[in-house]
Amino acid sequence: MIPSPAFSRRFLLAGAVALAALGTAPSISAQEAQRGGTLVVASVQKPRHLNAAVQSGIATAVPAAQIFATLLRYGEDFEPQPYLAESWSFSEDSKVLTLKLRSGATFHDGQPITAEDVIWSLGVVKENHPFSSMLAPAETFEAPDQQTVVIRMTQPHPAILLVLSSALTPIMPKHVFDDGQDIKSNPKNNMPVGSGPFKVTAFEPGQHIILERHDGFFLKDRPYLDRIVIRQYQDPNSAVLALESGEAQLFPMLDSTRLIRRLEKSSSLTISDQGYAGIGPVNWLAFNTKHPALSDVRVRRAIAYAIDRNFITKALHSGLSKPAIEPVVRDSPFFTEEVERYDFDLDKAKALLTEAGFGEGGQTLKLRIDYLPDTDEQQRSVAEYVKAALAKAGVEVSVRASPDFPTWAQRVSSYDFDMTMDLVFNWGDPVIGVNRTYLCSNIRQGIIWSNTQQYCNEEVDQLLNAAGDEPDLTKRKQLYAQAFGQITADIPIHFLNEIPYHTVWSQAVQNPPISIWGAMGPMDEVWLKQ
C-alpha cells in the first residue's frame, strides 16, 4: 500500500513521528513520571453502561476511553498518533486503509488482541453506534493476518482516522461479547472486559466507577496511576466542593461560569479551557422549519437579528463563552468566517417581520421556545433572554419547560416544537457530528439529534457529501465553507455560543487530559506528584 495524496501523506508523517516518540525515547513527562496513586475524577454524568461502541455521549465516553483502547489516539492537535495500531497507510485512491497492530497486546483477561477482534469491533460500531455516518463508507473489514486490518471503503473517507480514535470506536474482545445476545443490551456492557490502560472493578450507577491499573497494558510502563475513581456528584456545586476539599483531584466538563470564575481565584487548583476542540460544543436556537411562520426565512432571520450574542456571552456567561456563528466551533480545522453572522440589529429584525406580515400593521407573531432541562445557565437562562429580546421586536414568546430529558427529546424529535434551545457537539469532523443536523436524508422522526428542524436543501446535501469524501484538506475546507455559507443563509438554526467547558485539576495532577478529546481520551499518561 502507498499513501494517498494530501491528507494521508500528512497523517502518515504525523504517525511516523508519534511512533518514534512512543517506541524509542521516553518523553520528558515519562522521564519525570511517578507511578502509583489514585486519581479521583469528579463527574455529574450518569452513564447507563460503559460500552461506547453502542452509546455516544460524555457519560459513557470518559470511562470507556480508559477501559477500551482504540486503534489511534490524538494529542492536542488534529494529528493522529499510534495507539493499538503502530502504523497505517492508504491506497493510492484513498479507498483502502491498512493498519498494522502492535504485537503482544492483550485484553484484560489476558487473551491476545487480534485483527479478528478489531474487525468484529468495527462491525459492531458500524451496525450499532448512533453516529451512523462514522463508518458508512466502510464496505468490508478484513484480516489478512493476526496483526493486519484492512478497511475497504466505497469512497475516500478523510474522517476515518478520527473515527478510529478516542471513545468512538473501542476495540472489544470478540470472545467475550459475541455471545448471541443483543450487543446494545448485553449485561456485559456494565462490567466490560476491555483493551485499554484500566480495567473496571466496580460500577455503581449514580455513585462511582472504579478503574484499576491493567498491568498487561501494551504500552510499556503505563498507565502511571494505580487507580481511577470516577465519583458521581449530584451537581457541579457538589463536585467543586469536592475539589476544594481535596476529595477529588480532577473535574472535566465544568460549564458553570459562576463556578469557573470562583475556581480561577484558587491557588491550589488549575483551570483550563483546553481539551474540547474534538468535542466542539455549541449552544443554539433551532427552528421547526415546517411551522407556518417559521417556514419563512425572513422570520427566522428576523429572530436572529433580534438576539444579541454579546449579551449572552458577556452578561449571561461572564465573558467566558464565545459567540458561535456557524456549524463548527472556532477550534475546528473547518471553521470559516465566510458566513452570515446576524449581528444584533433590532431595526432590521422589525423590518423583516413587517415584510413577512407581522408586527406593525400585521398580526402578532406568537411562538413557543423549549430548552434542555437541567442545564440552567446555558439553556433555561438563554431561553428566558430570547423571550425578552424577541418581545422588543414585537414577537410574543412563551417558554415551555420539560420535566426531564426524555420529555424534551420526545417533543423535539416528534416535531412538537416551534423553537428549541439545544446543546450539540461537532465530534471532531463534520461527517461525524455536523452533517446529521442538515442532510435531507436524516429527517428521521422519533430520533433526537437528527435533522429535527426538517430542513432540506439539495445544494447543501451535495456540498456536505462532496466534502465528506474529498481527500484534499484545502478543498474540503472550501466545500465546507460553501455549505456553511448556505446553511447560515437558510438559517434552520441560529448559533448562539460555544459552551465554555473547562477542566479543573489539583496541583498533584500531572499531564492532565487536555488533548482534543480531553477526558474522553485515554489517561495512561496522567500521573500524581507524591
Cα separation, 33 vs 18, in Å, equals: 19
Which H/E stretch holds residue 423? strand 419-425
pLDDT computed for residue 22 by the predictor? 40
Are both 253 and 107 inside the same structural domain? yes
Cα separation, 183 vs 302, in Å, equals: 47
319 in the Ramachandran plot: left (φ > 0), alpha (ψ -120 to 50) or beta? left
DSSP string covering 489-516, please? HH-SEEEEEE---EEEEETTEES-S-ST
Could you tell me if 421 and 384 are in contact, meaning their C-beta atoms sit under 8 angstroms apart? no
Are both 75 and 124 inside the same structural domain? yes
Report the CATH number that the domain containing residue 293 is assigned in CATH: 3.10.105.10
Spell out the residues 6+ positions from residue 233 whose beta carbon is closer than 8 angstroms to its own.
Answer: 42, 43, 44, 239, 242
Q: Which residues pair with 152 in a beta bridge?
A: 96, 140
Number of domains in the chain: 2
- The DSSP code for 390 is H
Peptide bond into 223 cis (omega under 30): yes
Are both 323 and 356 inside the same structural domain? yes
Domain presence at residue 1? no
pLDDT computed for residue 375 by the predictor? 86
Are both 285 and 269 inside the same structural domain? no
Domain presence at residue 144? yes
Domain presence at residue 329? yes
pLDDT computed for residue 2 by the predictor? 36
Domain presence at residue 164? yes
Could you tell me if 483 and 473 are in contact, meaning their C-beta atoms sit under 8 angstroms apart? no
Are both 355 and 491 inside the same structural domain? yes
Cα separation, 24 vs 331, in Å, equals: 31
Residue 92 CB coordination number (10 Å): 12
Report the CATH number that the domain containing residue 96 is assigned in CATH: 3.40.190.10
The sign of the torsion formed by the CA atoms of 34, 249, 210, 192 equals: negative
Q: What is the pLDDT of residues 44-96, one digit of tens each?
A: 999 999 999 999 889 999 999 999 999 999 999 999 999 999 999 999 999 99
Are both 242 and 387 inside the same structural domain? no
Which H/E stretch holds residue 302? helix 297-306
- State the residue range of the domain holding 478: 281-498
Domain presence at residue 2? no
> Hey, what's the torsion of the CAs at 490, 493, 494, 496, to 10 degrees?
-150
Could you tell me if 206 and 119 are in contact, meaning their C-beta atoms sit under 8 angstroms apart? no
Could you tell me if 39 and 213 are in contact, meaning their C-beta atoms sit under 8 angstroms apart? no
The sign of the torsion formed by the CA atoms of 125, 131, 134, 136 equals: positive
pLDDT computed for residue 265 by the predictor? 95
Q: Average pLDDT for consecutive 10-residue bins of the chain (530 residues)? A: 38 38 41 90 94 92 97 95 98 97 97 98 95 94 97 97 94 97 95 97 96 96 97 95 97 96 95 95 98 98 98 96 96 94 98 93 93 93 98 97 95 98 96 95 92 98 96 96 98 98 97 96 95
Are both 264 and 285 inside the same structural domain? no
pLDDT computed for residue 8 by the predictor? 40
CA distance from start to end of the chain: 47
Cα separation, 140 vs 255, in Å, equals: 41
In three-state form (DSSP H/G/I as H, E/B as E, the rest C), the secondary structure along 171-235 is: CCCHHHHCCCCCCCCCHHHCCCCCCCCEEEEEEECCCEEEEEECCCCCCCCCCCCCEEEEEECCC
pLDDT computed for residue 170 by the predictor? 97
Are both 490 and 508 inside the same structural domain? no
Are both 236 and 315 inside the same structural domain? no
- The DSSP code for 68 is S
pLDDT computed for residue 20 by the predictor? 35
